[in-house]
Structure 1
Amino acid sequence: MRRRPGIAGLQNAAATRDQFRLVGENVAKVRTDVMKEQLATFRTQLEEFALKHKIVDICIATRATNGGLIDLLDLRKLLCQKRKADLGSLTSDDCLRAISKLKVLGSGFEVISVGKKKLVRSVPTELNKDHNGILELAQAEGFVTVEQVERKFSWSTGRAIDVLETLLKEGLAMIDDGHRDGKRRYWFPCATLSSDSIGADAKS
């Protein structure tokens, strides 16, 4: 017949369990502290990388003229001007890597494709398919009218105006009412401005 453990045996077993529990808690705490330290180091390195490549500076400096959307090629040109380097020394992939690292920080930076262009977005505006369609249409002349949008996408007048007014509100478009035909034109600086016209702003 097997003997039941005595009081001393039960106490020893309980003490052993407590020791294992404490060891487990200590290990978990150490792991958490290490992870926090690694994340903090990673974040610092990302921020230093972004500052080194000055992607942020140029995007902020040109927001007043492009509403927070800048062509990737213009960004490269302006960055090279700022660094006083040849365009060949900085590739589009370099910029894309830097922007992807900024995106990890939750900074709102993102690259979007509009037609054949890649635009860098530095404002937390969510652009949907309708917005992208208008931005692509604007690349032909730099502006669109409500009638052009209606014809291109077979939209109602209300839908066209709603999408255009949203882009206007977000600072991505400007209104021009000065034409003889009386048709309002919505200009999109991000689709038309070259680095020559905004270079002065980025250098200041």
Structure 2
Amino acid sequence: MHRRRGVGVAAVRKKQETETRYASLADKLEATQEAHVADVISSFRSSLEDFARKHKKKIRSDPLFRSRFTEMCYEIGVDPLQSSKGFWSEMLGVGDFFFELGIKIVELCAATRSANGGLMSLDELEFHLIKSGGAKITQDDIKRAISKLDVLGDGFRVVNGTMVLSVPVELNRDQTVALNLARTRGFLTARHLQAKLNAERAEEVLSNLLQAGFAWLDAPPGEAPAYYFPSIWLEATGGGESL
């Protein structure tokens, strides 16, 4: 019985030693793989910088080319918009491009806030940015620039993929429904909104949007009150001038 117990203990120890060696080998392999990945990423970043230097002018002037380039950057963990300093700014100017675009967005939103309450369609914002600067930009450029404006704490963000909100308020579900419905004609009546919400909720959401400054009220005698959303109305009617 004693010998069998000794054999059993030896077998257990041998198994433990084998498992320890396997664990050690696995750690070494993992470390080797991590080092290899780090080398590959470092090499790719270096190649990306060379590519950026070579195509600097095209990156700044061609919106589609710029979009694809920034996507490549994000895929390897490089954020060309992170700051206005460093390689991407001093050598390439990509950071500066979006930094300057962000400033223009802030200025335009501030200039129109008294008219639209801080809610502007991407189409209108794009129109005014191109008109004021003459540069070739896309809505993708605008969204990337806005994504860096959250440091201002003023609520800058894109909502529903089509509207820019530049005030620190949260739109609830009913308000979002109302804005989506308003995109067809640029205005709403309580009756229009009741196709999506009940009468009480429709009246409440329209009142809240009016109070927030997002809508204007037109209440001619004998007609149902209409709530106009300035930026959306311009987009729906094909207009662009609101400044």
TM-score norm. by structure 2 comes to 0.55
**Amino acid in structure 2 at the alignment position of 1:52:** E
Which structure is higher in RCO with an 8 Å CA cutoff and minimum separation 6? 1
- Say yes or no: does 1:193 pair with 2:241: no
SS at match of 1:111: strand
SS at match of 2:241: helix
Residues 1:154 and 1:78: Cα distance change in structure 2 (over 3 Å): closer
- Say yes or no: does 1:74 pair with 2:106: no
Number of matched residues?
149
- Say yes or no: does 1:176 pair with 2:218: yes
Same amino acid, percent of matched pairs: 39
- Say yes or no: does 1:110 pair with 2:110: no
Partner of 1:17: none
CA distance in 1 between partners of 2:111 and 2:217 (Å): 22
The answer (yes or no) to whether the contact 2:217–2:227 under 8 Å persists in 1 is: yes
The answer (yes or no) to whether the contact 2:124–2:231 under 8 Å persists in 1 is: no
CA distance in 1 between partners of 2:175 and 2:127 (Å): 26
CA distance in 2 between partners of 1:112 and 1:119 (Å): 5
Instruction: For residue 104 of structure 1, report the CA deviation from its aligned partner.
Output: 4.0
CA distance in 2 between partners of 1:50 and 1:63 (Å): 22
CA distance in 1 between partners of 2:191 and 2:109 (Å): 32
Instruction: For structure 2, list consecutive stretches of 5 or more residues without a partner in the other structure.
Output: 1-81, 86-94
Indicate which of 125, 129, 136 corresponds to 2:169.
Answer: 125
Partner of 1:95: 142
The answer (yes or no) to whether the contact 1:125–1:170 under 8 Å persists in 2 is: no
Instruction: For residue 51 of structure 1, report the CA deviation from its aligned partner.
Output: 5.5
CA distance in 2 between partners of 1:110 and 1:92 (Å): 13
**Aligned Cα root-mean-square deviation (Å):** 2.4
The answer (yes or no) to whether the contact 1:67–1:170 under 8 Å persists in 2 is: yes
Residues 1:68 and 1:112: Cα distance change in structure 2 (over 3 Å): same
SS at match of 2:159: strand
Instruction: For residue 190 of structure 1, report the CA deviation from its aligned partner.
Output: 2.6
SS at match of 1:135: helix
Instruction: For structure 1, list consecutive stretches of 5 or more residues without a partner in the other structure.
Output: 1-41
The answer (yes or no) to whether the contact 2:99–2:145 under 8 Å persists in 1 is: no
The answer (yes or no) to whether the contact 1:172–1:190 under 8 Å persists in 2 is: no
CA distance in 1 between partners of 2:152 and 2:84 (Å): 10
Partner of 1:162: 204
CA distance in 1 between partners of 2:134 and 2:185 (Å): 31
Indicate which of 80, 86, 100 corresponds to 1:52.
Answer: 100
Partner of 2:133: 83
Instruction: For residue 43 of structure 1, report the CA deviation from its aligned partner.
Output: 6.9
- Say yes or no: does 1:153 pair with 2:193: no
TM-score norm. by structure 1 comes to 0.65
SS at match of 2:120: strand
Instruction: For residue 196 of structure 1, report the CA deviation from its aligned partner.
Output: 2.8
